[in-house]
Amino acid sequence: MLIISAMSLSGGQGKSSTILFTAKMLAEAGYTVLAVDADPQGNLSTFLQHDLQPNEPTLLEVVKGSVALEDGIYPVKDYDRLFLIPADDALEGLQDYLSTSGIGALMMKQRLEPAKGNFDICLIDPPPQRFQLSRSVIGASEQIIIPVELNVKGFGSLIRTTAAIQEFIEFKICHPEILGVLPFRDRWTGLNRTIECETWLNHMQGEIAPELFLPSLRESTKVVRAISSGLPLSALTSPEDKYPLDEPFKELLKRVTSKMEKHSNV
């Protein structure tokens, strides 16, 4: 099982949207996917239209070890190969639990271990802040997608996120790779990218190897509609679209497929 997360240490950079579309695309491509909502805001659970009942176990109980992993996993409506460990605001309580445990950074990895035999890919959606929960998500990740808006906030988020990943590598906690940097809500007017987006993309490519950048996800109400309606992005992209909205996820599928091949060879 390949564990991939979307990290970006600022809010609104596209983490939950990235995990949502990647999860659906990988499940449609035939992989068995476990999506993990590790944000107390529970946006991924909402995006996947999970109707959480009051006493149902969530990621909180799974990480605390008060239920078995399989008791926190639920099927996702309309998908045979997509499953979810949901979250709600009670997950905030995990921050203290992780910080007092001493091995908080490796706790999530440990708890997801039993899923290995049943899923091909695990995708984790973390909270925005650099707190224990985010640290635990980095600690579990083999591959990281970094979504960033093409503006000053996105630039700051990219720098902070890569520095946090580097810290884990330096201290030999784990060795996650950057699977891709995804420019999020890229704005174009006609045939040209807006000057602001172009400028910040150039700044970013001065800091991070340009080949790591994925095709961008355009700013579009169609994408917002895909999220709220539950339809996959491919359903709202017509073949004659000049810039297919699902382009970044097609490239992600290629990169994931190649990692999966290497993974199965070890």
Ligand X SMILES: Nc1ncnc2c1ncn2[C@@H]1O[C@H](COP(=O)(O)OP(=O)(O)O)[C@@H](O)[C@H]1O
Report the interface residues with ligand X, using CB under 6 A: 8, 11-17, 43, 128, 185, 217-220, 223-224, 227
Interface residue with Mg ion among 16, 45, 141, 161 (CB under 5 A) is 16
| Helix boundaries (H) for 65-177 | 94-101, 104-112, 132-140, 152-170
39 or 142: whose CB is closer to Mg ion?
A: 39
Rounded to whole angstroms, how far apart are CA atoms 125 and 213?
Answer: 20
Q: How far is CA 4 from CA 65, 241, 260, in A?
A: 22, 29, 11
From the list 10-18, 94-102, 179-187, 217-225, the region that binds Mg ion by CB under 5 A is 10-18
* Residue number with CB closer to ligand X (120 or 134): 134
Shortest distance (Å) from residue 170 CB to ligand X: 25
Q: Which is nearer to Mg ion, 134 or 220 (CB)?
A: 134
Starting at the edge strand found earlier in the chain, the sheet holding 143-149 runs 74-75, 82-85, 33-37, 121-125, 2-6, 143-149, 177-186, 217-218
Interacting residues with Mg ion between 32 and 61 (CB under 5 A)? 43
Whole-angstrom CA distances from 84 to 17, 59, 217, 233 are 15, 10, 24, 19
Q: Which is nearer to Mg ion, 120 or 144 (CB)?
A: 144
**With CB cut-offs between 5 and 8 Å by kind, which of Mg ion, ligand X, none does residue 220 bind?**
ligand X
Task: Give how many residues touch Mg ion by CB under 5 A.
Answer: 3
What is the residue type of 148? V
Q: Which residues bind Mg ion (CB under 5 A)?
A: 15-16, 43
